[in-house]
Amino acid sequence: MKRNEISRRLFLGNLSGGLGAAWLASRMPEILAAQDHAHRAAISRKPVKFEFFTAEQAAEVEAIAAQIIPSDSSPGAREAHVIYFIDRALTTFDKDKQKLYADGLKRLQRALKKFAPKAARFSEAADERQIETLKAIEKTPFFQTVRTHTIIGFLANPDYGGNFERAGWKVIGFEDNFFYQPPFGYYDRDYKEGQ
């Protein structure tokens, strides 16, 4: 897939900058090797089921994540499948945080009673109620951990289950192309010594 993308760019001459296609062509073997690598790393496997969370817990945590990085005109934590990343983290490298989540969700429930007494679950409360509830617990290790996990799930390599279709990277403007040519940004266009 990536391989085709590169060839297409190469043949369409869709290349800017001073070095041109010859530069790129001379480096094709390395680029392709690097791209293969990228491709392997980028295979996003959507888990068929949660390994740690119950469906109900997942809905609650996903709702928190969706307040941390909301969906608007661009994808948020929900569209980036952050919840799958968190579930995977809690069954692999962050196993020791399982209890923090279990206890944290109970704490969330208590806070919810105060700010949204009518809602049975956090995920069912109105946006404003959710935000008020989270503000009340934002200093807790639980919230801070969900925040960290949400950020990582949004922006880590898609191989970890989040950042679905590179949604997080697209939002912040990051590409992972393995190769670039100048100009890299606005200010180095048309650069001349002593300009």
Partner 1 sequence: MKQEHPKYEPATEVDFVVIGAGAAGGILAKELSTAGFRIVVLEQGPYLREADFEHDELKYVFHGAITNDFKRQPNTFRKTEKEKAKTQPAIAYARLVGGGSVHFTTNYWRFHEIDFIERSKLGPIAGTGFADWPVTYTDLEPYYTKAEWDLGVSGLAGTSPFDPWRSKPYPLPPLPIKSSGVLTERGARKLGWHAFPAPMAIISQPYRGRAACLHCGFCELYGCEVKAKSSTLATVIPEAERTGRCEIRPDSYVRKIETDKSGRATGVIYFDKAGHEIFQRAKAVVISANGAETPRLLLMSKSNLFPHGLANSSGLVGRYLMFNGAALAGGLFEHQLNEYKSVVVTRVIHDFYDTDPKRGFYGGGGIDMRLDLYPIGFAMFGLPPDTPQWGAGFKAALKEYFTRSVYVFGHTTSLPVASNSISLDPAVKDAWGLPAMRVTYKDHLDDMKTMKFFLDRGMELLDAADARKKWAFPLQESTFSAHLLGTCRMGDDPRRSVINKSHRAHDVPNLFICDGSSFVTSGRGQPTCTIQALAYRAADQIIGMAKRGEIK
What are the distances in angstroms from CA 186 to CA 67, 97, 182, 189, 190?
A: 33, 43, 10, 6, 9
- Given 69, 90, 111, 137, the residue binding partner 1 (CB under 8 A): 69
What are the distances in angstroms from CA 35 to CA 6, 41, 176?
A: 9, 10, 10
x/- mask, partner 1, residues 7-46, rule CB under 8 A, reads --------------------x--xx-xx--xx--x-----
- Given 68, 108, 111, 137, the residue binding partner 1 (CB under 8 A): 68
Q: Are 143 and 134 in contact (CB under 8 A)?
A: yes
Q: Is 153 exposed, middle or buried (0-12, 13-18, 19+ CB in 10 A)?
A: buried
Is residue 83 involved in binding partner 1 (CB under 8 A)?
no
Q: Is 14 exposed, middle or buried (0-12, 13-18, 19+ CB in 10 A)?
A: exposed
Is residue 137 involved in binding partner 1 (CB under 8 A)?
no
| 74 vs 98, beta carbon nearer partner 1 | 74
Non-local CB neighbours of 81 within 8 Å, separated by 6+ positions: 46, 153, 161, 162, 163, 164
- Given 50, 58, 97, 168, the residue binding partner 1 (CB under 8 A): 168
| 11 vs 180, beta carbon nearer partner 1 | 180
Is residue 136 involved in binding partner 1 (CB under 8 A)?
no
Closest of 147, 137, 145, 169 to residue 156, by C-alpha: 169
Residue 45 DSSP code: P
Is residue 133 involved in binding partner 1 (CB under 8 A)?
no
- Given 115, 154, 161, 164, the residue binding partner 1 (CB under 8 A): 154
Is residue 171 involved in binding partner 1 (CB under 8 A)?
yes
Query: Given the rule CB under 8 A, which residues bind partner 1?
Result: 27, 30-31, 33-34, 37-38, 41, 67-70, 72, 74, 76, 93, 131, 134, 138, 147-148, 151-152, 154-157, 159-160, 168-169, 171-174, 176-188, 191, 194-195
